[in-house]
Amino acid sequence: MQIDLNGRTALVTGSTQGIGRAIAATLADAGARVAINGRTAGKVQETIEQLAAPGRVFIAAPGDVTLPEGAEEVLAASGEVDILINNLGIFGSEAPLEIDDDEWRRYFDVNVLAAVRLIRATLPGMKARGWGRIQNIASDSAIVIPAEMIHYGMSKTALLAVSRGFAKDAAGTGVTVNSVIAGPTHTGGVETFVYELVDESLPWEEAQREFMRTHRPQSLLQRLIEPQEIANMVAYLASPLASATTGAAVRVDGGYVDAILP
């Protein structure tokens, strides 16, 4: 299979690091013009310079998409968006009964409402042009809610509903809307999270194994997923090859979710 995204413009939120960065590079390798997004112009430009390679085309689209005015700035810089990847998200562990109202709202605003805001802005144009791809990066925590991450799990469960609902709105238009359920993934932020839950004195490889054994024992992969493995699925779903996949929650979870269906 050949994934060809030439002539398409993609916006990947939160793409200066981790999964978003891997997605941006992979879409660019497939021929898309990719808008790199982060809160600061400096970090966005640094990322573009680091990812630069022959054939890759990137656009600087700095701005805070969790704010209406920030989303407008990002969309203006991106131009006409054909592929929207709502990757931006926050996560962390907290004792369930100590999560206050403000924290619940913060997780919803960042992980859910920011995605909804960008879908509202880009979906009409995609429908009018008869082609588009929207993907919301969800998590295994949307289905298997960790006790220490209830607020995060809630926000990712909401993304599954958001994806399904907007897929119905886009029915018959040539636009697909899907969720990608990412399993425990190896990023810098996750390394910090792992060390919050296991002995900080352990070398990384031992800490990762201990984390998976103690906190994610149902993983069939028995290791953290690499960001590129998530990006491969995203690139496929963004392509014409995935034209019959919409309204779906597609798992790249290493078999973590113990169910036949999401």
Tell me the catalytic residues. 152
Round the CA-based radius of gyration of the chain to a whole number and report it. 18
| Cα 42 to Cα 47: distance, rounded to the nearest angstrom | 9
108 alpha-carbon distance from chain centroid = 15
Tokens 């004195």 locate to 201
The DSSP secondary structure of 235-250, one letter per residue, reads HHHHSGGGTT--S-EE
Phi, psi for residue 259 in degrees, rounded to 5: -155, 155
- The 33-36 sheet, strands edge to edge: 57-60, 33-36, 9-12, 83-86, 132-139, 175-182, 249-252
Helix ranges (DSSP H) in 185-226:
188-197, 204-215
- Residue 107 in 3-state DSSP? helix
DSSP state of 141: G
Among positive and negative, which fits the CA dihedral 55, 131, 238, 89? positive
